[in-house]
Structure 1
């Protein structure tokens, strides 16, 4: 599935060591500059740690920008504690947004099985892949259920309309409204290659997207599209923190692990095996993001997997968990995920990343002191979780 991505990774391999530590700077016309192991001086006198901190600050600024909470001069902060505090500016915006979307969509939420992956496409139906906001996808769903839309779909000879999504909104709409989530954004090329996607709906007119989809449906091969069997998973259960806390206090679960975001092609964790291992070790795994795993459940009082929608830390922070959740970040394909992870570190959540944050070893050590560690070996993640829990108790 990720052949093109792995080809690109191989092309970049010879320059990745320095870049992985954040040692490249294009902040002014004296550069770009780097510390490549053979150089120790740059024109402005910035140190390797300062260069890495500046680049980390730029990532955080980009992540904050998605929440309209950007702080001026953040890229001039070279103190890690201050930088983590700046990242935490997005926490309460995320909480407010999570509550807003939940208020809109919760009336439609119920426990049900939802298709995950390309098997969620229906060759005999009009398939629209919606990649707008959760509110925008909700509006599209409602429009396709109007009499006007139903008559158009019937005239086209389609067996209904099948709205699917992917990535961040796909995870939330699968949870709240039960539509298929076909994967993260890296799956889009594969989805289009099936020939079953009749339209991509972004932020335009719902009517225009349906009209485009009907035209494409009339021209394609219909049921002859080849698709894998759908993977079915349970989702839609309300996050019941009181029940979770009782289960923890009674010893029914070892703790709560939050899987924050979908896996990255550069992460070596075997995600399905890791999630199974966590459940076998007694953890309740709360999954946010565009992936679904075996062992999904609607109960919150025993080890299992609960899919709870999009990767917003507002779904977790400030909800009153008795066991502080351990947060696993298998990858960050955008700055928002990295910023969110660092914001959680600021608020005392232990965080384990599956790919390195681009900082120097000394900054990585400081992050570890604050409870943010990188573990590249997926088979050691459960062990590292136990270590972090012991540290919390101590």
Structure 2
């Protein structure tokens, strides 16, 4: 009994040592004021800082962390017999990440079924040049289905009459980020960038309303009021950057091109670049094409060389960053996946699921891991390369290893 008590005493000593060592940061952490939700962080409000890159406030950060805990708690009742947060085996965690794959595929198919009748190959503006000063501009940030409903509403006779009465040259629905990428692909609306561009978009004065999940009529009414009060065509905007999108993914043509040696392989850009990623994306994509790769782009950014041809090296945009866009499609060459950044847990979880399914993955920012865990992840096929100029070289190394 005495030995047991001494053991407990030693255990508590270690705990108290740890508590003392963490004391200087605990007050802020106890309030939930640390965030590792995306690759711009980890960030904290520690008393000496008052600003973080994404603009989240201390209260919002605390609520986000609480929501994560609630989501984890609810998740335990649905899919796990024990807490996933207590699983310390890499293989088990990678396998757990794959639980979202079927959901992603089902959702991708659902959205494609809804929107594919509107899809055609066309050139679409990517970037702030997609705003039109002479038109009523509504930035839609809801779901793909919600944005589709907004587009349909603004084309009703009632809406068209109100827009004409306001003196506007039509209505211009734009979007950004995840839904923006898919709606650009499926319906050809401008995609102005990822969520980080929203402040710049608002600063132009051209955004007349932001549509979330409310009434389409209310969003249009708000937009018409703002349009009437702004300077209209005097808004300063960059020139539109037009890129091809809307091509249906033709895996048969891709496989044939690979077998004939017309392409070196397939590279999927999964998600948009992050400010913390040092890759020069335009140069990297050009380099990949010059080395014979067909680059499939998911996400809200596009690059030079966009095309609808899938039988030769080039850049093809295929919509939002969902695993369902690429996994299980029957690619003969397993695509290499480049993840230039993760803006949320979904992208990071998707990345780990792809690793489990055997996709070679290269990330442009570090995943917060200890060196030993990072090494285990590398053994599974996921490596980090911070130097964008070495990415093509690393792909070649992975390809040689795979063929060997």
TM-score bucket of the superposed structures, by smaller chain: 0.7 to 0.9
> C-alpha deviations, 1:125-178, integer Å up to 9, x for none?
000000000000000000000000000001000000000000000000000000
**8 A Cα contact 1:106 1:176, kept in partner:** yes
Determine helix, strand or coil for the equivalent of 1:68: helix
Question: For 2:26 and 2:294, how far apart are their aligned partners in 1?
Answer: 36
- 1:147 maps to 157
Deviation at 1:7, TM superposition (A): 34
Q: Is the 8 A contact 1:20 1:358 kept in 2?
A: no
In 1, distance between residues paired with 2:182 and 2:149? 14
Query: In the aligned structure 2, how far is the partner of 1:7 from the partner of 1:198?
Result: 56
Paired residues of 1:61 and 1:71 also in contact (CA < 8 A): no
- SS of 1:86's equivalent in the other structure is helix
- Paired residues, number: 394
Preserved CA contact (<8 Å) 2:39 2:365: no
Conserved in 2, the CA contact under 8 Å of 1:124 and 1:158? yes
- CA shift digits 1:5-36 (9 cap, x unpaired): 99999999999999999999999999999999
The superposition leaves residues 85-143 of structure 1 with CA deviations (integer Å, 9 ceiling, x where unpaired) of: 00010001000000000000000000000001111000000000000000000000000
Corresponding residue of 1:376: 386
Distance in 1 of aligned mates of 2:259 and 2:189: 35
Relative to structure 1, is the Cα distance of residues 184 and 63 closer, same or farther in structure 2, using a 3 angstrom cutoff?
Answer: farther
Helix, strand or coil for the counterpart of 2:338? Answer: strand
- CA separation of 1:334 and 1:116: change in aligned 2, threshold 3 A: same
Distance in 1 between the 2:79 and 2:380 partners?
Answer: 24
Mapping of residues 67-216 of structure 1, within 5 Å: 73-216=83-226
How large is the Cα RMSD of the aligned pairs? Answer: 9.7
Q: Where has structure 1 moved over 6 Å in runs of 4 or more?
A: 1-71
**Does the 8 A contact of 1:240 with 1:300 survive in 2?**
yes
Deviation at 1:274, TM superposition (A): 0.1
SS in 2 for 1:327: strand
1:71 to 1:268, Cα distance in 2 relative to 1, 3 A: farther
Shift of 1:62: 6.7
Answer whether contact 1:64 1:87 (CA < 8 A) is retained.
no
Deviation at 1:61, TM superposition (A): 7.3
Name the CA distance, whole Å, in 1 between partners of 2:13 and 2:257: 43
Residue 253 and residue 216 in structure 1: after superposition, are their counterparts in 2 closer, same or farther (change >3 A)?
A: same
Q: Which structure has the larger Rg?
A: 2
SS in 2 for 1:153: helix
Deviation track 1:301-350 (CA, whole Å, cap 9, x = no partner) reads: 00000000000011100000000000000000111000000000000000
Q: Give how far 1:391 is off.
A: 1.6
Contact 1:53 1:78 in 2 (8 A): no
Partners of 2:138 and 2:210 within 8 A in 1 = yes
In 2, Cα distance between the equivalents of 1:264 and 1:14?
Answer: 31
The 1:27–1:355 alpha-carbon spacing in structure 2 relative to 1, beyond 3 Å, is closer
User: Any conservation in 2 of the 1:63–1:338 contact (CA below 8 Å)?
Assistant: no
Q: What are the ranges of 5 or more consecutive residues in structure 2 without an aligned counterpart?
A: 1-10
Is the Cα–Cα contact under 8 Å of residues 22 and 359 in structure 1 kept in the other structure? no
The separation in 2 between residues aligned to 1:122 and 1:27, in whole angstroms, is: 34
Contact 2:364 2:384 in 1 (8 A): yes
Q: Alpha-carbon deviations, 1:31-66, whole Å to 9, x = none? A: 999999999999999999999999999899779979
Partners of 1:20 and 1:357 within 8 A in 2: no
The structure-2 alpha-carbon separation of the partners of 1:309 and 1:388, relative to structure 1 and needing over 3 Å to count, comes to same
Q: Relative to 1, partners in 2 of residues 1:189 and 1:248: Cα closer, same or farther, differing over 3 Å?
A: same
Alpha carbons 1:269, 1:378 under 8 Å: kept? yes
Q: Distance in 2 between matches of 1:392 and 1:66?
A: 37
Q: CA separation of 1:66/1:255 partners in 2, compared to 1, >3 Å: closer, same or farther?
A: farther
Cα distance in 1 for partners of 2:196, 2:369 equals 26
Q: TM-score if structure 2 supplies the norm length?
A: 0.83
Unaligned runs of 5+ in 1: none
Structure 1 window deviating more from structure 2 (342-351 vs 52-61): it is 52-61
**2: CA distance between counterparts of 1:204 and 1:26?**
30
- Is the CA contact (8 Å cut-off) linking 2:39 and 2:276 kept in structure 1? no
Quote the residue 1:43 is aligned against: 53
Check whether the contact 1:66–1:336 (CA below 8 A) recurs between aligned residues.
Answer: no
Give, in angstroms, the shift of residue 201 of structure 1: 0.2
CA displacement, residues 267-288 of structure 1 (integer Å, 9 cap, x when unaligned)? 0000000000000000000000
Distance 1:381 1:30, change over 3 A: closer
Deviation for aligned residue 1:352:
0.2
**Structure 1 residues 35 and 192 mapped into 2: Cα distance closer, same or farther (>3 Å)?**
closer
Structure 2 CA distance, aligned partners of 1:172 and 1:6? 51
- Is 1:60–1:336's contact at 8 Å kept on the other side of the alignment? no
